[in-house]
Amino acid sequence: MSQATSRPVQRALISVSDKSGIVDFARQLHQLNVEILSTGGTAKLLADENIPVIEVSDYTGFPEMMDGRVKTLHPKIHGGILARRGTDDAVMQEHNIPGIDLIVVNLYPFEATVSNPDCSLEDAIENIDIGGPTMVRASAKNHAHVAIVVDPNDYDHVIGQLTDNSGVIEADSRFKMAVKAFEHTARYDGMIANYLGKIVENGKPEGFATTFNTQLTLAQTMRYGENPHQNAAFYIEPNNSQACIASAKQLQGKELSYNNIADTDAALECVKQFVESPACVIVKHANPCGVAKANTLLEAYDKAFQTDPESAFGGIIAFNQPLDTVTAQAIVDRQFVEVIIAPSVEDGVSDIVAAKKNVRLLTCGAFDQSSTHLDYKRVTGGLLVQDSDQLLYQELNIVSARAPSEEEMRDMLFAWKVAKYVKSNAIVYAKDNRTVGVGAGQMSRINSARIAGIKAEHAGLVVPGSVMASDAFFPFKDGIEAAAEAGIAAVIQPGGSMRDAEVIEAADAAGMAMIFTGMRHFRH
């Protein structure tokens, strides 16, 4: 942090596009005897509110020109901001450059402008603020002497500082606001580069930008990462309004760990798929180990738990509807759980979960099914970026001789949704809207099928009559034969193998119904 100046603020420059709160703020500055300089639109607003203000054009002797492209870009402004008080006093005097001690700027709304699909390239370019970021960066650089405010939420803090410290803004505050200012301009330039880096010949943005710029904010540092010898932190995206782990509210319990966050994300994203009736997903090590939907949340939880009680121990439980007291009580009475997350909790739930003070209870708000985002995966030396896997199937094509029954069809669609959230190779056995066995993350599909069978056996669940979902096609008929032997009645899979004919033949030989979805759901 640079050495503090203890000079009171005498002069402020205010130039804002987002004018919320500015009138009150400026009025208070005036009452504190701060002289206010301001640009056209802001100056007019303040003058209309009877706040004494000097227009920047009068101050510099230069009119605002070129449709606002040049307003504050003048040595009298930038000298006043950048001058090192004590070091540059003589030169300031020589060129008649008074110091400007407080800069209040927010930028042309580039992000909002380009979020309109009809925005032209010309409009976008005119909304690239030049004078604003120049003042923001200059004052942030010279935070030893100057305070920069880019966030209307900081107006009260600044007034508090000026009032409490006889007109001085403390060094610590100036430094923090300077960091915020550089974050602000970095994000702003990142958005511009992302937008322009996507522009194709017709002047419209398309596809992926030539560089990847994003700004995530530190939400939490952790005691450790995936393992105790790894340092870790959680960064979140700005302005996130969707129901997700990044915006979830923790009502009680220990601090979320790295693995808690990853697993809660997996559980929540899986349960979000079930909209029509109460559903529960229990996740262990990023894979659903029990999923069910039912008439009540309690029944859904009970069925999900029964799939794999062994694995559910220490699991993460996600619900798609407000958590009620009966279900909360059942969880607390029955099992060790790391995290419980639901859109909201009913009255009394927090008191029940409080009996287990370490259990993390989170709410995430109502689900918005329409929200889409990009998925990122770090590889050494790079980042893989893709659309998130939002779709479910391309078709539901009955390829077997026998058509599935209504119940089989229902269970196959249920199992298919779950399989999307199981690490590949994924095999999900299901019956009556609940998982019967889940085989996850195996290097061969047949082994995932075997594991699903073993899981069902351990839980004492009956496989015969269940359906099977496979996240990708069966390369050989052996997977189908093994499933038939276990008593699987119907199979849902993408299809598309070179040996589809053999696979279908094996299903027909076993009297199984088989659906091709035409869409694969690998998850690595």
Ligand X SMILES: NC(=O)c1ncn([C@@H]2O[C@H](COP(=O)(O)O)[C@@H](O)[C@H]2O)c1NC=O
In this chain, which stretch among 40-48, 275-283, 306-314, 484-492 interacts with ligand X, using CB under 6 A? Answer: 40-48
Cα 369 to Cα 364: distance, rounded to the nearest angstrom: 14
CB-nearer residue toward ligand X: 105 or 490? 105
CA angle 500, 502, 503 (to 5 degrees): 60
Cα 99 to Cα 52: distance, rounded to the nearest angstrom: 19
110 in contact with ligand X (CB under 6 A):
no
Q: At its nearest, how many Å lie between ligand X and the CB of residue 123?
A: 14
Active site residue 524: no
CB-nearer residue toward ligand X: 38 or 320? 38
Distant-in-sequence, close-in-space partners of 264: CB < 8 Å, separation ≥ 6: 245, 248, 256, 283, 316, 318, 339, 341, 362
Q: At its nearest, how many Å lie between ligand X and the CB of residue 107?
A: 5
16 in contact with ligand X (CB under 6 A):
yes
In this chain, which stretch among 34-42, 244-252, 372-380, 430-438 interacts with ligand X, using CB under 6 A? Answer: 34-42
Cα 188 to Cα 214: distance, rounded to the nearest angstrom: 10
Over the window 126 to 165, marking each residue x when it contacts ligand X by CB under 6 A and - when it does not, the resulting string is ---xxxx---------------------------------
Cα separations in angstroms, 59 against 13, 25, 493: 11, 21, 72
Q: Phi and psi (nearest 5°) for 489?
A: -95, -25
Q: At its nearest, how many Å lie between ligand X and the CB of residue 125?
A: 11
289 in contact with ligand X (CB under 6 A):
no
- Tell how strand 360-363 and strand 374-379 pair up: unpaired
Q: At its nearest, how many Å lie between ligand X and the CB of residue 56?
A: 8
Which one among 41, 190, 309, 441 touches ligand X, defined by CB under 6 A?
Answer: 41
Which one among 107, 248, 256, 413 touches ligand X, defined by CB under 6 A?
Answer: 107
CB-nearer residue toward ligand X: 72 or 425? 72
Question: Would you state the structure tokens that stand for residue 314, as one six-digit string?
Answer: 């220490």
Q: At its nearest, how many Å lie between ligand X and the CB of residue 57?
A: 11
Cα 377 to Cα 149: distance, rounded to the nearest angstrom: 35
In this chain, which stretch among 123-131, 198-206, 392-400, 424-432 interacts with ligand X, using CB under 6 A? Answer: 123-131
In this chain, which stretch among 102-110, 343-351, 382-390, 439-447 interacts with ligand X, using CB under 6 A? Answer: 102-110
Q: Which of 180, 198, 254, 285 is catalytic?
A: 285
Dihedral of the alpha carbons of 252, 258, 259, 263, in degrees to the nearest 10 = 70
Which one among 39, 127, 363, 425 touches ligand X, defined by CB under 6 A?
Answer: 39
E strands, 71-129, where? 102-106
Whether the bond between 425 and the residue before it is cis, its omega within 30 degrees of 0, is: yes
CB-nearer residue toward ligand X: 14 or 286? 14
In this chain, which stretch among 70-78, 345-353, 373-381, 467-475 interacts with ligand X, using CB under 6 A? Answer: 70-78
Cα 44 to Cα 22: distance, rounded to the nearest angstrom: 12
CB-nearer residue toward ligand X: 107 or 362? 107
Q: Which of 138, 108, 95 is nearest to 19 (CA)?
A: 108
Which one among 4, 73, 119, 209 touches ligand X, defined by CB under 6 A?
Answer: 73
Which one among 8, 40, 197, 365 touches ligand X, defined by CB under 6 A?
Answer: 40
Residues 128 and 137 sit within 8 Å (Cβ to Cβ): no
How many residues bind to ligand X according to rule CB under 6 A? 21
**Residue type at 225 in one-letter notation:** G
Q: Which of 19, 30, 141, 157 is catalytic?
A: 141
Which one among 42, 173, 466, 493 touches ligand X, defined by CB under 6 A?
Answer: 42
Active site residue 285: yes
The partner residues of 103 in beta bridges, in order of sequence, read: 13, 148
Cα 130 to Cα 146: distance, rounded to the nearest angstrom: 20
Three-state DSSP state, 302: helix
In this chain, which stretch among 62-70, 165-173, 230-238, 494-502 interacts with ligand X, using CB under 6 A? Answer: 62-70
The partner residues of 36 in beta bridges, in order of sequence, read: 12
Which one among 5, 15, 273, 470 touches ligand X, defined by CB under 6 A?
Answer: 15
CA angle 20, 182, 203 (to 5 degrees): 80
Question: Would you state the structure tokens that stand for residue 224, as one six-digit string?
Answer: 């450790």
Binding site for ligand X (CB under 6 A): 15-17, 39-42, 68-73, 105-108, 129-132
Which residues have a catalytic role annotated?
141, 285
